[in-house]
């Protein structure tokens, strides 16, 4: 009978894409850093100071990426553009609704990017991101990619519900803690889903 004893076989998880998952998680934490500053500024002052803070933080984030990696990802430019447009509109019109919509639009763009990637080239986006660490059947790559796309779309719609049915205080808390928590839970569930596809090196 096949034994699943990690202590007996220290290389049992060699094929496990832990590094890819961890890198994705750290990337998400880094991308949520401006949101944390937004929350702090909102609690200390108001949503308009918080909006200006997230505009500066996002600009610095893109600048750091350009200096460290000599490259800025397309979605980072898109995020910066949306932050500037909606943040500027929020400050100019003194209407907090604009900054709330930004989150949904960004999430929807991510979702559509994942879903649309399966129609461009031979590999979808999630396969391009993780294929160096994991080999999966084409049907599983497609399912995983669609799960990511649907996740981002769902977060966008949940944000719309929160912004129209709860107070601004509640929305800021949701944006700062709720969205990152959903991301962490989703990634953990993804690890569980992928575990059965990890090859056993004993075989």
Domain ranges of the chain: 18-195
Percent of the chain topping pLDDT 90: 36
Q: What is the pTM of this model?
A: 0.74
Q: Identify the residue whose tokens are 């700062």.
A: 176
- pLDDT at 14 > cutoff 60: no
- How confident is residue 88, by pLDDT bands cut at 50, 70 and 90? very high
- How confident is residue 101, by pLDDT bands cut at 50, 70 and 90? very high
- pLDDT at 16 > cutoff 70: no
CB 144 within 8 A of CB 132: no
Q: Which of 106, 124, 107, 123 is nearest to 115 (CA)?
A: 124
What integer pLDDT is reported at residue 198 of this predicted model?
Answer: 64
Q: Considering only 23-37, 51-65, 84-98, 135-149, which range has the smallest mean pLDDT? A: 23-37
Quick one: CA torsion of 163, 164, 169, 173, rounded to 10 degrees?
Answer: -40
Rounded distance between C-alpha atoms, residue 124 and residue 152, angstroms: 16
Q: Where are the beta strands (DSSP E) in the chain?
A: none
Radius of gyration of the chain (CA): 20
What integer pLDDT is reported at residue 22 of this predicted model?
Answer: 59
More confident residue, 174 or 133: 174
């Amino acid at each position: 009978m096949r034994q699943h004893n990690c202590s007996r076989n220290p290389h049992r998880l060699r094929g496990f894409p832990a590094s890819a998952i961890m890198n994705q998680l750290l990337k998400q934490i880094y991308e949520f850093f401006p949101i944390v500053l937004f929350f702090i500024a909102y609690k200390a002052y108001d949503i308009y100071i918080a909006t200006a803070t997230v505009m500066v933080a996002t600009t610095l984030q893109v600048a750091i990426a350009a200096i460290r990696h000599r490259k800025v990802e397309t979605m980072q430019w898109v995020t910066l553009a949306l932050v500037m447009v909606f943040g500027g509109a929020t400050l100019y019109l003194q209407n907090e609704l604009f900054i709330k919509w930004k989150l949904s639009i960004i999430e929807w763009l991510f979702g559509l990017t994942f879903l649309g990637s399966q129609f461009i080239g031979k590999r979808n986006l999630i396969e391009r991101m993780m294929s160096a660490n994991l080999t999966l059947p084409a049907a599983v790559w497609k399912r995983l990619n669609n799960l990511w796309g649907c996740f981002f779309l769902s977060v966008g719609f949940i944000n719309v519900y929160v912004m129209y049915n709860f107070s601004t205080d509640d929305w800021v808390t949701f944006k700062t803690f709720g969205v990152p928590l959903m991301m962490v839970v989703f990634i953990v569930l993804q690890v569980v889903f992928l575990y059965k596809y990890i090859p056993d090196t004993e075989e």
